[in-house]
Amino acid sequence: MMDWSPILLSLELAFFTAIILFVVAVPLAYWLAYSNSKWKVLVESLISLPIVLPPTVIGFYLLLLFSPESGVGAWLEHTLGIQLVFSFPGLIVASTIYSLPFMVQPLQAGFSSLPSLYRTASYVLGKSRFTTLIRVLLPNIQPAIFTGLVLSFAHTIGEFGVVLMIGGNIPSVTRVASIAIYDEVESLNYNSAHQYSIVLFALCFGILVVLNVLNKGSFFKFFKK
């Protein structure tokens, strides 16, 4: 019988990562869209690194950073009582860093596509930047928000290298679906690996279909055919 705990753990990880990413990415994307800072290019490049950098590289350096033997890891463990290596919170932190561009870039594109008149009119009416962001800009980039949430959620579900380096393979703690597939293949349990793989395939494919349908504004038309 199939063990569903890795699938459920992957969904839990993807959910928390997507929520945290949204909170972190909104101010970043806003700054990148409207700032004229000379550091903008460097920040954009740094955020985009996970797209081109091998996941094992990111995972390796995060492992060194969060290890109890490092300054940061020792401070987190002794001061805050937080251990990020081989733990679920560590997976969330690593996944947030690794999936950051999949949330920031759609939001940045959404902000950049809005006419400047929106912000100008809000400021003329005496609204602050924060109020303008929350009540004017974000409601007008809902497709970009949805795209960022879905892409970061789906990307997190498919992570392997980063979560393996940070979390290892601890059942019910860090053994997500991608790790379970690798583990089953190593053990030559191809039937179990196939079960996990087909569930992830169906899940990710379904997510992308819904995303494409909604972004084309034809969700209800699609199901009426």
pLDDT digits (tens, 9 = 90+) for 59-80: 999 999 999 888 898 999 888 8
Say which residues have a Cβ less than 8 Å from residue 196's Cβ, sequence separation at least 6. 2, 6, 7, 177, 180, 181, 184
Tell me, what's the pLDDT at 220? 40
Q: What is the pTM of this model?
A: 0.89
pLDDT tens string 10-58: 999 999 999 999 999 999 999 999 999 989 999 999 999 999 999 999 9
Q: Dihedral sign for Cα 164, 165, 169, 170, please.
A: negative
Confidence band, pLDDT 50/70/90 cuts, at residue 9: very high
Ordered by start, the domain boundaries in the chain are 5-224
CATH T-level fold of 5-224? MetI-like fold (1.10.3720)
As a whole number, the mean pLDDT across the chain is 90
Query: Average pLDDT of 178-194?
Result: 93
pLDDT at residue number 219: 41
Q: What is the dihedral of CA 112, 118, 120, 125, to 10 degrees?
A: -150
Residue 92, H or E segment: helix 88-98
| pLDDT number for residue 217 | 57
Structure confidence at residue 211 (pLDDT)? 80
